[in-house]
Amino acid sequence: MSLLDFFKRHNCCNHEHVAIDSQYSYCPDCGELIENEWYITRCACCGIKQKAIIKKGEIVPEDNFCRNCGGHEYVVEKVPKMNFVNINYAVLIKSVVPAEETTEDVTQCWEEKPLNIPKRLQLFR
């Protein structure tokens, strides 16, 4: 590996412009389908919420111990829907949803229903 390879920019999208308020969203930069997953950490002993961070690719509590009971063990919990109470404790992971791979080429077609245009009424004199 040369010195120039070290300084080359790797074109890897961080999905910074993906909306965080929906569970699935397309990245406007790269076009990938992104799933937003929220996680919080709780003390394994007393169950209170602890602020979560990502350290070396793993979700861990910010403090090394629980401020309530002093325990060192924790549980990572996935939050199905984020609310304003948990937002201060949660961490967001944006993961790319793999595209469905099919072995055969698929062609789809739709049939449009004909418009029901009313006929004119006859005028009798």
DSSP string over 107-119: -----PPPP-PPP
pLDDT score, position 28: 86
- Which class for 66: exposed (0-12), middle (13-18), buried (19 or more C-beta within 10 A)? buried
| Mean of all residue pLDDT scores within the chain | 82
Nearest-angstrom CA–CA distance, 84 and 78: 15
Judge whether residue 1 has pLDDT over 70.
Answer: no
pLDDT score, position 23: 87
62 belongs to a structural domain: yes
Residue 63 burial (CB count, 10 A):
13
- Coil/strand/helix, residue 87: coil
Judge whether residue 12 has pLDDT over 50.
Answer: yes
pLDDT score, position 82: 85
Nearest-angstrom CA–CA distance, 8 and 29: 20
Range of the domain at 29: 11-96
Nearest-angstrom CA–CA distance, 61 and 40: 8
78 belongs to a structural domain: yes
Tokens 């390879």 correspond to what residue? 5
pTM exceeding the 0.85 threshold for the entire prediction? no
Residue 23 burial (CB count, 10 A):
13
38 belongs to a structural domain: yes
* Total domains, the chain: 1
Give residue-wise pLDDT tens across range 30-76: 888 899 999 999 999 998 999 999 999 899 999 888 888 888 999 99
Nearest-angstrom CA–CA distance, 62 and 66: 10
116 belongs to a structural domain: no
Judge whether residue 103 has pLDDT over 70.
Answer: no
**pLDDT band, very low/low/confident/very high, at 102 (cuts 50, 70, 90):** very low
**Cβ–Cβ < 8 Å for 87, 36:** no
**Cβ–Cβ < 8 Å for 75, 45:** no
5 belongs to a structural domain: no
